[in-house]
Structure formats: C-alpha cells, structure tokens
Amino acid sequence: MNHTDILPGASSLLPNHLPETGLRERLMQRVRKSHARESQFHTIRRDAGQWSALQFDARQKPLADTPAAHSALLELAPGATLEQPRGWTMQEVVLLVGNAALGDALLACGDAVCAPHDAAHLLRAGAAGARLYLRLSAPQASPQQTLQFSTLVDDATWQDFCPGVRIKELWNGGERRSVLVRMRAGSHVNSHDHGLEEECMMLAGEAFIGDTLLRGGEYQLAPQGSRHGAVQTDVGALFYVHGSLDPAAYAPAPAART
C-alpha cells in the first residue's frame, strides 16, 4: 500500500522517501525518556508488594514510610482490633471491603474517615472482616473529632475543582491537605509540580498519571520537587490524595494573546 492509498492527494506533502532506518531507535528513545520520567515515582501495583503479618489476626501491605506518615493496605480478620503503633496522632481510613468500627463510628464499605489516633478511636473489623487503606501521621493540627462521609455519594458537599473533577476534603492542615477526588470519564487535570511529596491511592476506576496507568487498588508516591504529567481518565476514577494541593499548580495556562 502506498501513501496515496491511505490519504489521496497527500503524496505531494510527503518526501520522496520515508526512511525507516532509525525508526526503532527513535521509538526506543521515547520509551527510555518516559521510563526515566516515570521511575521517579514510587508506584505499587495491586498484584505486587509484600503482605506481612501485623498481628495474629491482621496483615498489611506497606505502601510508603516518609518522615510525615506511614501508609498501608490492611486486612483485618472478623472481629479483629488493630493494635495502635505509637508516635502517630491522626489516622485517615478508607474502607475498601467489609465493615468496621472506628471508636463509636460504624464504617460501611466506601466510607472515608479522619480521626484522632488514640485509645478512644480503636479500629475494629466487623463480622465480615475488613480491607482498608490507612494513613497514620502526626501533624501539628491533629483532629479533635471524627470526620466521616461516604465516597460513594456525590452530593453538594463535594466541590468543583476543574471541569469534570470534584473533590471532598478529608483533612486540612494548611500547607498539607487530604482530599478525595472524583473524575468523570473523559476528564483531565493539568500537569503540575509538587512542592511537597504527594500520595495517591486509587480507590476505583483508573486514570493515567502522566504515562503511568493507575488502577483501582494501586498506589503512587510522588516525591517533593517532582512534576506529574496530566491526569486523565477514559472510564472515570475515584482516588485519595494527600499533598500540598495548591490550586494555582493545577490552573490552566493563560491563553496566548493574539
């Protein structure tokens, strides 16, 4: 098949000879650049990472340990109470499977909670057991009470962030925030820099973050000073994000003057 078979009349726009020599190398250069750019991010796939015993009736898959926090996926046996590691004052939980209680608050699948990390707010699995995302930290402004809402409900308490994208704040520490992000199919968020490290736990759906496809149950940590490519989804996505989240970093570029 020649070029005019594909696009009649285009032969005059093409050189007489399209060299294929070096085509593979040019493609490989793009692959290497993409790999180098994406390898700065710490990504844990849902079928990768190591589960380890946390206590006799619980296990964990560590996601990240930074100076600011410990993040992990946890599985609790029915009725198990999670032992509390010392040194943390705040816990953020998203219940992925099963049921649980955090202190006096009963948690259903899809609930997100921010609460003090103390003896009055022990995490207990329900009769069905529980699988959850847990982030432990010790911010200067720790919560004094429990904030709880369902990630499955998109109501007026969610804020518009950019076209097709809404957020719900779980915790606000000034410089740092934790939010749930809901993206409609076909929406995107512009590329952006990270003044602080940023954690992203994909809860449902999937999205490309730069050249990396993050699916439900997968996690990525972007280091301080890194730059993410555009976030875009074809099918929709729901994820937890913790970071600086400066709205100016995500603002569309101003239109060029003509």
Q: Which pLDDT score is estimated for 184?
A: 96
What pLDDT does residue 191 have?
A: 82
pLDDT tens, residue by residue, 55-109: 999 999 999 998 889 999 999 999 999 999 899 999 999 999 999 999 999 999 9
Output the six-digit token pair for 176: 């740092």
Residues in the chain, pLDDT under 70: 1-21, 30-31, 33-39, 192, 245-258
Instruction: Compute CA distances 244 → 83, 172, 174, 230, whole Å.
Output: 30, 10, 8, 17
Residue 149 CB neighbours (<10 A): 18
Specify the pLDDT at position 9.
Answer: 56
Domain 52-150 annotated CATH 2.60.120.10: yes
Position 5 scores a pLDDT of 47
Measure the CA–CA gap between 159 and 167, rounded to whole angstroms. 5
The CATH superfamily holding the domain 153-250 is Jelly Rolls (2.60.120.10)
Helix, strand and coil percent figures for the chain, each rounded to 5: 10, 45, 40
Q: What per-residue confidence (pLDDT) applies to 27?
A: 74
Residue 42 pLDDT: 87
Q: Using alpha carbons only, give the angle 50, 83, 220 rounded to the nearest 5 degrees.
A: 35
Strand partners, 221: 42, 199
Q: Amino acid letter at 140? A: Q
Residues of the chain with CATH 2.60.120.10: 52-150, 153-250
What's the one-letter identity of residue 195? Answer: G
Residue 190: per-residue pLDDT: 85
- Residue 186 tokens read as 């076909």
